[in-house]
């Protein structure tokens, strides 16, 4: 078989022209390059299914979300990345504002993802849904004491609350959501009371907040629900034991609903395989993929009509804040400033 340097049949070979279908083997296979802030174990099985079904190879690079954004900025239009997978609408909005993403129009994507869980201009689409909930110690907290986020500023919670730092994007997005719904003055007043109720200086991740409640360092904590799910399903006996000592509570059910956010994907500005990248996003939003993705990540399907896992169903149904998650990114800088002014470290 004769192949040119570019993998095309030689112009002088009549035989090669006659055997054109066989010469496809000389071409480089279709592929898509993915930068992912999701752990490899939580995403690769689905990517492997995509490759098996489509023949499109997926080259995966994983890393911290902020580090991947910095890498995309540094690489510019020379970046090999075709697709960015990351958590939190705030990060996706940052990537959009930094001109790192390109818009994509797809009837399949627009049908699968509710309007409030994607970029209005098509720069990114939600893949899974997570909620910022309360976990509490049932031996020290009566569920009847719990209601909404606003109540966490009440003096009755003095030295009883654990939360991670203000530098965490999940907390920044939650405050941005409050700014969008309540305004700056009310949010600032809430922050002052909330910070005064911290049981300790913010530290660690969401799993650490759950462990702190279980060990008695605090009585309640703000966490993303999927962390509790991950600990309950963990192979680490100590993690499971800690998670089993707390309970989950859905705040704001009598009001605007619990604060929700997404993990999502956007096609990079530099993409040389944009069609393959679009196909991958569409694949991840198919009904069967959404079911698997939610099970593996202990998150909720972003696509309507897909049942969550049995564990998530055991927590009951909840009312979600219908705010467009783009607002979480748009108001991020204002949220960070408000958190700094309240001395949330």
Spatial distance between the Cα atoms of 177 and 328, rounded to a whole number of angstroms: 6
pLDDT for position 11 = 39
The pTM assigned to this predicted structure is 0.87
Spatial CA neighbour of 49 closest among 276, 222, 288: 288
- Per DSSP, what are the bridge partners of residue 190? none
- 3 falls within a domain: no
pLDDT for position 41 = 83
- 2 falls within a domain: no
Tally the C-alpha atoms within 13 A of residue 38's C-alpha that lie toward its C-beta: 27
- Contact yes or no for 255/178 (Cβ under 8 A): no
pLDDT for position 296 = 85
Task: Report CA-CA distances (Å) from 31 to 11, 80, 91, 199.
Answer: 27, 11, 25, 50
Spatial distance between the Cα atoms of 135 and 225, rounded to a whole number of angstroms: 9
CATH number, residue 54: 3.40.190.10
- 286 falls within a domain: yes
SS (H, E, C) the chain: CCCCCCCCCCCCCHHHHHCHHHHHHHCCCCEEEEEECCCHHHHHHHHHHHHHHHCCEEEEEECCHHHHHHHHHHHHHHCCCCEEEEECHHHHHHHHHCCCECCCCCHHHHHHCCHHHECCCCCCEEEEEEEEEEEECCCCCCHHHCCCHHHHHCHHHCCCEECCCCCCHHHHHHHHHHHHHHCHHHHHHHHHHHHHCECCCCCCCHHHHHHHHHHCCCCEEEEEHHHHHHHHCCCCHHHHHHHHCCEEECCCCCCCCECEEEEEEEEECCCCCHHHHHHHHHHHCCHHHHHHHHHHHCCEECCCCCCCCHHHHHCCCCCECCCCCHHHHHCHHHHHHHHHHCCCC
- 113 falls within a domain: yes
Phi and psi (nearest 5°) for 209?
A: -70, -40
- 9 falls within a domain: no
Domain range spanning residue 25?
14-129+262-307
Residue 196 shares a structural domain with residue 282: no
Residue 290 shares a structural domain with residue 146: no
pLDDT for position 15 = 36
- Contact yes or no for 222/171 (Cβ under 8 A): yes
Residue 209 shares a structural domain with residue 322: yes
Number of domains forming the structure of the chain: 2
Low-confidence ranges of the chain (pLDDT < 50): 1-28
Spatial distance between the Cα atoms of 176 and 324, rounded to a whole number of angstroms: 11
Residue 136 shares a structural domain with residue 120: no
pLDDT for position 10 = 39
Spatial distance between the Cα atoms of 77 and 174, rounded to a whole number of angstroms: 32
Residue 184 shares a structural domain with residue 324: yes
- Contact yes or no for 163/171 (Cβ under 8 A): yes
- Contact yes or no for 95/87 (Cβ under 8 A): no
Query: The tokens of 111 are what?
Result: 């049908």
Spatial CA neighbour of 248 closest among 264, 235, 267, 229: 229
- Condensed to tens digits (0 to 9), the pLDDT of residues 250-266 reads 999 999 999 999 999 99
8 CA to centre of own chain: 41
Residue 270 shares a structural domain with residue 324: no
Residue 201 shares a structural domain with residue 326: yes
Residue 325 shares a structural domain with residue 186: yes
Spatial distance between the Cα atoms of 125 and 295, rounded to a whole number of angstroms: 19
pLDDT for position 293 = 81
pLDDT for position 294 = 82
Spatial CA neighbour of 285 closest among 85, 64, 62, 90: 85
Residue 192 shares a structural domain with residue 337: yes
- Contact yes or no for 113/125 (Cβ under 8 A): yes
């Amino acid at each position: 078989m004769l192949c040119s340097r570019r993998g095309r049949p030689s112009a002088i070979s009549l035989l090669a022209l006659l055997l054109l279908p066989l010469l496809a083997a000389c071409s480089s296979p279709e592929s898509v390059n993915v930068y992912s802030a999701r752990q490899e174990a939580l995403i690769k099985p689905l990517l492997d299914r995509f490759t098996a079904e489509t023949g499109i190879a997926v080259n995966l690079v994983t890393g911290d979300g902020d580090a991947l954004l910095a890498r995309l900025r540094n690489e510019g239009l020379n970046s090999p990345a075709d697709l960015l997978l990351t958590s939190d609408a705030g990060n996706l909005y940052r990537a959009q504002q930094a001109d790192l993403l390109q818009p994509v129009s797809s009837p399949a994507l627009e049908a699968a993802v509710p309007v409030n869980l994607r970029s209005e201009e098509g720069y990114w689409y939600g893949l899974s849904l997570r909620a910022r909930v309360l976990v509490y110690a049932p031996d020290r907290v009566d569920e009847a004491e719990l209601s909404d986020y606003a109540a966490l500023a009440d003096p009755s919670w003095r030295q009883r609350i654990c939360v991670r730092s203000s530098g965490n994007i999940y907390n920044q997005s939650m405050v941005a959501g409050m700014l969008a719904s309540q305004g700056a003055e009310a949010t600032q007043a809430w922050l002052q009371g909330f910070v005064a109720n911290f049981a300790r200086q913010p530290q660690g991740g969401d799993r650490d907040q759950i462990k702190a409640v279980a060990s008695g360092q605090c009585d309640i904590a703000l966490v993303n629900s999927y962390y509790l799910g991950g600990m309950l399903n963990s192979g680490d006996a100590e993690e499971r034991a800690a998670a089993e000592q707390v309970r989950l509570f859905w705040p704001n059910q009598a009001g605007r609903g619990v604060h929700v956010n997404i993990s999502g994907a956007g096609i990079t500005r530099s993409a040389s395989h944009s069609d393959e990248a679009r196909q991958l996003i569409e694949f991840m939003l198919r009904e069967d993929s959404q079911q698997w993705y939610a099970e593996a990540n202990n998150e909720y399907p972003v696509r309507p009509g897909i049942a969550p896992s049995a564990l998530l169903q055991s927590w009951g149904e909840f009312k979600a804040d219908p705010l467009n998650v783009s607002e979480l990114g748009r108001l991020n800088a204002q949220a960070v400033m408000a958190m700094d002014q309240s001395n949330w470290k």
